[in-house]
Amino acid sequence: MPFALAFALLAAQPVTPDPQEVPAAQGDFSGVDWEKEFGVEKKVADPVTGEFPVEPYQQGPANAGAGPFTGESMARAFGGQDGIHRIVDRLVVLSESDPRISAIFKSRDLVRLRRTLFEQFCFILNAGCIYSGREMQAAHKDLGITRADLNALVENLQQAMREGQVPFAAQNRFLAKLAPMDRQVVER
């Protein structure tokens, strides 16, 4: 019995390892490239467009989520393509800085977002654009967008339209055209 007790006490003694023998798993990790360690490929933006590559997808006007208005009155109410660009740019700036939804925009391709939002709005407003983006459900997949997130985005769009001096009636017509997309965008 004394041998078992001595062995148990010896096994319970703390061991201080030699610092030179400490495995890398317990050492300094500041120089480790974790993306390389785990095989994460870094996406590189296109040098011409500034957009990051995406998986191929079927393009078509139905991807815009709504058909275009008829006539030119809505495009004129939004200030044509220049006005639509300003509204989209302002919407993205407002949404990036909005604490309610800014996390959704982190680590996203904002160059592509601005382009495809412009194309979508321009197409729907019948201002002479073709929408080349993905369909709404695929574009918003795994973003975890809630109804509250969508409401915050709509509030930011309303502010951008007000600042762009879009008449209230035209704002409402546009929002009514966008509203059915919520079923394709909201995930939870």
Closest by Cα among 109, 133, 105 to 119: 133
- φ and ψ of 118, to 5 deg: -60, -50
Question: Measured between alpha carbons, how far is 147 from 124 in angstroms, rounded to an integer?
Answer: 22
SS3 47: coil
| 140 marked as part of a ligand binding site | yes
Question: Measured between alpha carbons, how far is 133 from 141 in angstroms, rounded to an integer?
Answer: 14
Question: Measured between alpha carbons, how far is 153 from 161 in angstroms, rounded to an integer?
Answer: 12
Binding-site sequence positions for heme: 140
Binding-site sequence positions: 140
